[in-house]
């Protein structure tokens, strides 16, 4: 009987892993592409995926941007960036530039350069203090074009608090989007929020 229980438990585990891998593959090829088009990512843009991890959001964005576009994928974790590079090579996506960040806040990109910045599950207190978050948002404001926008997934934070913090750094709330997105390699139904750049 114990053998049967173990066999069933292993089968369940394998099935879950298979489903998760299938969902991730579908996200990078289909669902993620649809989602990021919906929030305003377009062919030919220049985008930053800040805190990109192994690229679950970078890959579908890169598909939208096409050969004329470019996505910078920034993270402090080198193994995650190496995994992203492998995935991009397999999927033959050549418009991704990884940035191994040695700094917590400084972003090595020019002023008024980007069309959009993705900030998904990265601005919460686990990573940044209030003062550091304000500094990061100011840095993001610096590198965005005047018509640029940020898309924020404020997991672990209250929406009103996040909105107030972001709008204090010269961004204006624009839209919210409900969707099934990826968080920690798993699908989750949640909301993301877009803010457009305003003048200082």
pLDDT of residue 4: 60
Tokens in use for 162?
């996040």
pLDDT of residue 19: 44
Q: List the pLDDT tens digit at each of the 200 positions of the chain.
A: 666 665 555 544 444 443 445 778 889 899 999 999 999 999 999 999 999 999 999 999 999 999 999 999 999 999 999 999 999 999 999 999 999 998 778 999 999 999 999 999 998 888 888 899 999 999 999 999 999 999 999 988 888 888 999 999 999 999 999 999 998 888 899 999 999 998 76
**Cα–Cα distance, 82 to 96 (Å, whole number):** 12
Report CA Rg, the chain: 18
pLDDT of residue 186: 87
With residue 87 as reference, give the H or E element that holds it.
Answer: helix 78-90
Phi-psi region of 7 (alpha: psi -120 to 50; beta: other; left: phi over 0): alpha
Reported as half-sphere exposure (CB side, CA atoms, 13 A), residue 45 has a value of 24
pLDDT of residue 200: 61
Domains and CATH numbers, the chain: 2-197 (3.40.50.150)
pLDDT of residue 8: 53
pLDDT of residue 15: 42
List 183's β-bridge partners, or say none: 186
């Amino acid at each position: 009987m114990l053998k049967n229980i173990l066999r069933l438990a292993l089968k369940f585990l394998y099935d879950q892993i298979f489903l998760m891998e299938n969902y991730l593959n579908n996200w990078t090829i289909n669902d993620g592409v649809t989602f990021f088009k919906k929030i305003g990512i377009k062919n030919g843009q220049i985008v930053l995926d800040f805190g990109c991890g192994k690229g679950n959001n970078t890959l579908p964005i890169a598909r939208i941007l096409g050969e004329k576009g470019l996505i910078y994928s920034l993270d402090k974790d080198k193994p995650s960036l190496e995994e992203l590079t492998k995935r991009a090579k397999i999927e033959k996506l050549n418009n991704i530039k990884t940035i191994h960040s040695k700094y917590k806040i400084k972003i090595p990109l020019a002023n008024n350069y980007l069309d959009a910045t993705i900030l998904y599950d990265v601005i919460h207190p686990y990573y940044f203090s209030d003062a550091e978050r304000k500094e990061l948002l100011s840095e993001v404001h610096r590198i965005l074009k005047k018509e640029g926008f940020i898309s924020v997934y404020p997991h672990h934070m209250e929406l009103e608090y996040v909105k107030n913090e972001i709008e204090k750094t010269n961004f204006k709330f624009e839209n919210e989007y409900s969707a099934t997105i990826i968080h920690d390699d798993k699908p989750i139904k949640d909301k993301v929020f877009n803010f457009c750049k305003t003048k200082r």
